[in-house]
Amino acid sequence: MSPLEWERQRVFLAVLRAGSLSGAARLLGIAQATARRRLDQLEQALGLSLFTRTPAGLTPTEAARGLTQHAEAMDIAARAFSRMASEQTAMDQGTVRITCADLLGVEVLPGLLRELHYQHPGLRLELSVGDALEDIARLQSDIAVRLVRPVEADITVRRVGSLRVRLHASAACLERYGAPGSLDALRAGPLIGPDRRAADLRRLVEAGLCEVDQPFTIASDNHLAQLAALKAGLGFGLCPVQIAREHGLVEVLGEQFGFEVDVWLAMHSDLRRTRRIARAFDGLGDALQAYLAG
């Protein structure tokens, strides 16, 4: 494939992601006219119409949707090639991409990366925060922070500790509703919990917090939203002790309920030879271990 062909396909992928030529141009750092020309050239070369122009933007055609998976795979391969080939011996140059679930990614990870960032200011850190699990075996990310032990092949795994999950409330919540004396009393009060995510509800049922028909006064599948509701005094809810103490939340029924969630760090084994990624893996692992133990 010539460089020009790949540049055209990069525009195609960027338009898919951004939904417009202007958005694609911003993603790629090129002029909108250049993005339009490359997309037109790609459609002419393929003999296909890839997008339908609408007032709301560009809508992919059926042909475009059929090509999406292949373009994504090429992009992943190109990014992985660039990461592994660039500046293998220089710690202060290149990119390290880290993927993490939303609660840890927002509440914990930035503070733990501070020392690495200060020591190596030329290092570019990409933080992919969300529930979607990026595939480290396919090098979609360099380092993954997971709450379930990774099982992909050819990866290096390190358990860095566990989150101690307990019931908590804000001072305002306790002032209004009082401290529950038992789990039964807690279940009858304003409880914060999952909305439609069956896996989260199943974990709470198996841990003995509630039954499957528990009515949650504040229901959300987003753990950051649950934390925000907890801090706002809207009810009682679950929160890792390590995070709760930073927000002044008060633990309730600590002797009656609680569980632990293991935290794992993972990377593709081949990346051990890439100095900046190996150093970031070890540094983040040590920082997470100290944080979780503290």
Q: Which one of 1.10.10.10, 2.40.50.140, 3.40.50.300, 1.20.140.10 gives the CATH number of domain 3-85?
A: 1.10.10.10
Residue-level pLDDT at 88: 52
Q: Which of 122-136, 218-232, 272-286 has the highest mean pLDDT?
A: 218-232
CA dihedral 104, 136, 159, 96 (to 10 degrees): -60
Residue-level pLDDT at 282: 93
Helix (H, G, I), strand (E, B) or coil at 228: helix
Share of the chain above pLDDT 90, in %: 51
Both structure tokens of 211: 């039954």
| Bridge partners, 251 (sequence order) | 168
Q: Where are the domains of the chain?
A: 3-85, 95-158+264-293, 163-261
Angle in degrees, 0-180, between the axes of helices 3-18 and 62-85, rounded to the nearest 10: 120
Best CA proximity match to 43, nearest among 15, 79, 75, 81: 15
pLDDT exceeds cutoff 50 at 11: yes
Q: How far is CA 14 from the centre of its chain?
A: 21
More confident residue, 68 or 290: 290
If you average pLDDT over every residue of the chain, what do you get? 88
- 244 burial level (CB within 10 Å; 0-12, 13-18, 19+): buried
Helix (H, G, I), strand (E, B) or coil at 164: strand
Strand bridging mode 192-193 / 218-219: parallel
Question: CATH topology of 95-158+264-293 equal to that of 163-261?
Answer: yes
CA distance 105 to 99: 8
Q: Which one of 3.30.9.10, 3.40.50.2000, 3.40.190.10, 3.40.50.720 gives the CATH number of domain 95-158+264-293?
A: 3.40.190.10
CB-CB contact of 38 with 72 (8 Å): no
pLDDT exceeds cutoff 90 at 238: yes
Q: Mean per-residue pLDDT for 170-198?
A: 93
Q: Mean per-residue pLDDT for 215-219?
A: 94
Q: Which one of 3.40.50.720, 3.30.365.10, 3.40.190.10, 3.30.1120.10 gives the CATH number of domain 163-261?
A: 3.40.190.10
More confident residue, 94 or 156: 156
Q: How many CB atoms lie within 10 A of CB 178?
A: 11
pLDDT exceeds cutoff 80 at 18: yes
Q: Would you say the C-alpha torsion 249, 250, 256, 262 has a positive or negative sign?
A: positive
Q: What is the pLDDT of residues 75-119, one digit of tens each?
A: 877 777 766 665 554 566 788 999 999 999 999 999 999 998 888
Buried b (16+ CB within 10 A) or exposed e, 29-48: ebeeeebbebbeebbeeeee
Indicate the pLDDT class of residue 1, thresholds 50, 70 and 90: very low
Residue-level pLDDT at 91: 60
When mean pLDDT is compared across 1-10, 21-30, 94-103, 230-239, the lowest value belongs to 1-10
Residue-level pLDDT at 3: 52
Q: Mean per-residue pLDDT for 138-163?
A: 88
